[in-house]
Chains A and B, each alone.
Chain A
Amino acid sequence: MRIGLLADLHANREATEACLETLSREGCEQYVFLGDLVGYGADPGWMIDTVRAHVDDGALAVLGNHDAAVDDPQASRMHAQALAAIDWTRAQLDESQRAFLRELPLQATQDDRLYVHANAWEPAAWGYVHNPLAAHCSLMATDRWLTFCGHVHDPALYYTGAVPGEAAYFQPEYGMPIPLPPSRRWLAIVGSCGQPRDGNPAAACALMDTARKQLTFLRVPYNHARAAQKIRDAGLPAALADRLLTGA
């Protein structure tokens, strides 16, 4: 089976549409949304409706800290711009959309895979997997062979290696299928679809072929100028628009 993975979509409709189109062309039969559907971007209502439709169709979705903050601003410590975006988002959503976010699970498992927004050791505390030590902690906290997460916006691949106490790190190359040997355990951060921060404005997503045990990281160019303009038009902080243009 081919699974399409999207994380940190952040209400960016243009990026999400571009990624879904690419993944569908690649033959994905299932989608997994790894949290942070909303926050920062200008299309939270569209985003929730789209993800909900996919979930009704068999997709999986988990809760991100921005999603949790819609109902509970104290759920996660956030900087001022993020909070401003959440306040704006709350006003855009109807009750059923808010209920959808509220009911998202913190994590989901499927066969030998774990899907979680932040990490496996304490998903609700939103700690980042931003180094080999944190990746090791997360890998130790699950018995699944492969973990997919988001939260950190830059794509990364970690795996159990020889050095005790830390995972090995690999910086993925885009478009190259990576065979994942079954003898190791793996943690993939698929990268942010809706707000890339590594200097490349193209949206990130990933494709997992479960039969071949191959993972491909992808970057999908999209009309980021339009997404940025909509953020400005909505009256959201201009910095949130600007960073879509530079991908930083």
Chain B
Amino acid sequence: MPITLQAGGQLGGFTLIEPLHEGGMATLWRVAHPGHALPLLMKLPRIAYGETVNQIVGFEVERMLLPVLAGPHVPRFIDAGDDGDQPWLVMEHVAGQTLLPLLEGTPVAPDRVAALGALAALALDNLHRQQVVHLDIKPSNLLLHAPQGGDERIVLIDFGLSHHARLPDLLAEQFHVPMGTSPYIAPEQILGIRSDPRSDLFALGVTLYHLATGHRPFGFPGSVRGLKRRLYQDPEPPRSLQPDVPRWLQEVMLRCLEVDPDARYPTAAQLAFDLQHPEQIVLTERAERSRRSGTLARTRRWWKSIGLEPEALRAKVPDRAHAPLIMAAIDLKQRDPALDLALKDTVQRLVATAPGARLACVTVMRTARIGLDSNLDAEGRNRHVKRLVGLRDWARALDLPDHRITFHVLESADVADALIDYARSNAIEHLIMGARGVTGVRRLLGSVSARVAAEANCTATVVRARALTNTATEPGNPMPAGAIEPS
């Protein structure tokens, strides 16, 4: 017999304050507890007679996963329990609104769509690093949180359909119908694959497409047959629906919506990177597409889709290590041939081992600490362009194709800060930089590389030129040759 919930009531030591939402799957209450200062939310699955097993399992899955998730892009788990027949789950009540209301005001400006997309992709990257695929990404599960005095970020909610690579999947054998929300569900997910992080990139692509154009790329099908149509029918190119959508955004969205997961972005980090640096996106035929493909191409894809075996797709789920974002920090002002060579050699070896790796070449242009001289504008631009030219020249020997390399000139008063910040906001996996010998001044002030290695939130490799190392270190205390990797 389900217990009745009312304001002022108690459940598991929590006081029920007010109901917030009466959803199809669960009821949400604002609750309080003397031991917790955070605003709290209690989720209670609907267990009344007639509710489907699916809802209960979804709740079970969320209750299993939330305690093992961490970081700024998921609500904090507080407690869970069962009182009588009523299971409940308490988590942090994150302030903010989901992206759902934005669908009322479509089309949303392309820049805003890209900015929201980048925030969502960074959140997904964080989740995927925790070995979880969300599998129900849609506007109502992307919560935009703007903390006071902080940068806005996306918090992912509702993990009822999620999959953890290292935990039992209670949903895997549960149902033989596709699980997900019909407009957003990825093709491989329709076939029962629950382990591919790129399924979330497809769903995010649907979300961005809807925001940017006001239309759903695959409609709102209500049958499995309708769902399967997206396996062979490509969406209307966004620019044909909304000419204001720039080519680069069409490129990004259509790449997310590729049927073959291998044709999408390999990681959410790479998607976030492109959305944050649109000027460096390499445009392909996708950007120029102005209509759907013809009957012949569609029929061909339809035939192909009939033969798609989930087992074959399951085997294709990639290891994220194959597609890292690598950042090379380059000092163009004080170049040292031996160090240059050692740095390039390390970068080359790293890029060569990961076929999906992308390299961001970054340099920092020092600016005055206080004030900005407006009459220096033109000169500043000139210096900026010079640095870009310098970066391209530096990277020429690496011989990487355009889609695998980008160039960035940062401006900052503090070089280490700029590099650390760039690595964080771009979800860089591995930062490589050179270290010069330890001169008197450096020994006193501490070097940039030492600070970056200590403070960056990614793996950092500090490269030294061997010849320099020998002269710069004290006898009897040789520095390690090559790289150190505090990861």
- In the complex, A157 has a CB within 8 A of chain B: yes
Report whether B64 and A181 are in contact in the complex, using a CB–CB cutoff of 8 Å.
yes
Least distance between A61 CB and chain B CB atoms (Å): 28
Report whether B174 and A181 are in contact in the complex, using a CB–CB cutoff of 8 Å.
no
Contacts of B168 in A (CB 8 A): 157, 159, 168, 170, 178
Contacts of B53 in A (CB 8 A): 162
- In the complex, B73 has a CB within 8 A of chain A: no
Contacts of A25 in B (CB 8 A): none
Contacts of A79 in B (CB 8 A): none
Question: With A161-B173, A162-B174, A183-B56 known to touch, is A178 a contact of B167 (CB < 8 Å)?
Answer: yes
Which A-chain residue is minimally distant from B165 (CB atoms)? A173
Report whether A181 and B166 are in contact in the complex, using a CB–CB cutoff of 8 Å.
no
Instruction: Give a binary string over B165-188; 1 marks a CB under 8 Å from any A CB, 0 the rest.
Output: 011101011110000000000000
- In the complex, A179 has a CB within 8 A of chain B: yes
- In the complex, A84 has a CB within 8 A of chain B: no
- In the complex, A163 has a CB within 8 A of chain B: yes
Question: With A181-B60, A183-B56, A183-B60 known to touch, is A176 a contact of B173 (CB < 8 Å)?
Answer: no
In the complex, what distance in Å separates the CA atom of A177 from the CA atom of B87?
Answer: 21
- In the complex, B134 has a CB within 8 A of chain A: no
Which B-chain residue is minimally distant from A162 (CB atoms)? B174
- In the complex, B82 has a CB within 8 A of chain A: yes
In the complex, what distance in Å separates the CA atom of A159 from the CA atom of B168?
Answer: 9
Which A-chain residue is minimally distant from B169 (CB atoms)? A170
Least distance between A164 CB and chain B CB atoms (Å): 11
In the complex, what distance in Å separates the CA atom of A176 from the CA atom of B60?
Answer: 19
Report whether A162 and B63 are in contact in the complex, using a CB–CB cutoff of 8 Å.
no
Number of A residues with CB within 8 Å of any CB on chain B: 16
Least distance between B385 CB and chain A CB atoms (Å): 50
Which B-chain residue is minimally distant from A157 (CB atoms)? B168
Instruction: Give a binary string over A171-188; 1 marks a CB under 8 Å from any B CB, 0 the rest.
Output: 001001111011110000
- In the complex, B147 has a CB within 8 A of chain A: no
Choose from B87, B167, B173 the contact partner of A162 (Cβ within 8 Å): B173
Contacts of A183 in B (CB 8 A): 56, 60, 87
- In the complex, B96 has a CB within 8 A of chain A: no
In the complex, what distance in Å separates the CA atom of A178 from the CA atom of B164?
Answer: 11
Name which of A161, A179, A184 has the most chain B CB atoms within 10 A of its CB: A179
In the complex, what distance in Å separates the CA atom of A163 from the CA atom of B173?
Answer: 7
In the complex, what distance in Å separates the CA atom of A161 from the CA atom of B168?
Answer: 11
In the complex, what distance in Å separates the CA atom of A241 from the CA atom of B168?
Answer: 35
- In the complex, B68 has a CB within 8 A of chain A: yes
Report whether B82 and A182 are in contact in the complex, using a CB–CB cutoff of 8 Å.
yes
Name which of A157, A170, A177, A181 has the most chain B CB atoms within 10 A of its CB: A181
Contacts of B12 in A (CB 8 A): none
User: Which chain B residues numbered 130 to 173 have a C-beta less than 8 Å away from chain A?
Assistant: 166-168, 170, 172-173
- In the complex, B9 has a CB within 8 A of chain A: no
- In the complex, B67 has a CB within 8 A of chain A: yes
Contacts of B68 in A (CB 8 A): 177, 179
In the complex, what distance in Å separates the CA atom of A183 from the CA atom of B55?
Answer: 13
Least distance between B162 CB and chain A CB atoms (Å): 13
Which B-chain residue is minimally distant from A166 (CB atoms)? B173
Which B-chain residue is minimally distant from A183 (CB atoms)? B60
Contacts of A173 in B (CB 8 A): 166
Question: With A162-B175, A181-B63, A182-B82 known to touch, is A176 a contact of B167 (CB < 8 Å)?
Answer: yes
User: Which chain B residues numbered 452 to 475 have a C-beta less than 8 Å away from chain A?
Assistant: none
Which B-chain residue is minimally distant from A173 (CB atoms)? B166
Contacts of B87 in A (CB 8 A): 183
Residues in B lying within 8 Å of A, measured CB to CB: 53, 56, 60, 63-64, 67-68, 82, 87, 166-168, 170, 172-175
A179-B67, A179-B68 known; 5 new pairs, CB 8 Å cut-off, are A173-B166, A176-B166, A181-B63, A181-B170, A182-B82
Closest 3 pairs between A and B when the two form their complex, measured CB to CB = A170-B168, A173-B166, A162-B174
Residues in A lying within 8 Å of B, measured CB to CB: 157, 159, 161-163, 168, 170, 173, 176-179, 181-184
User: 14 interchain pairs (CB within 8 A)?
Assistant: A161-B173, A161-B174, A162-B173, A162-B174, A162-B175, A168-B168, A170-B167, A173-B166, A178-B167, A179-B68, A181-B63, A181-B64, A184-B60, A184-B170
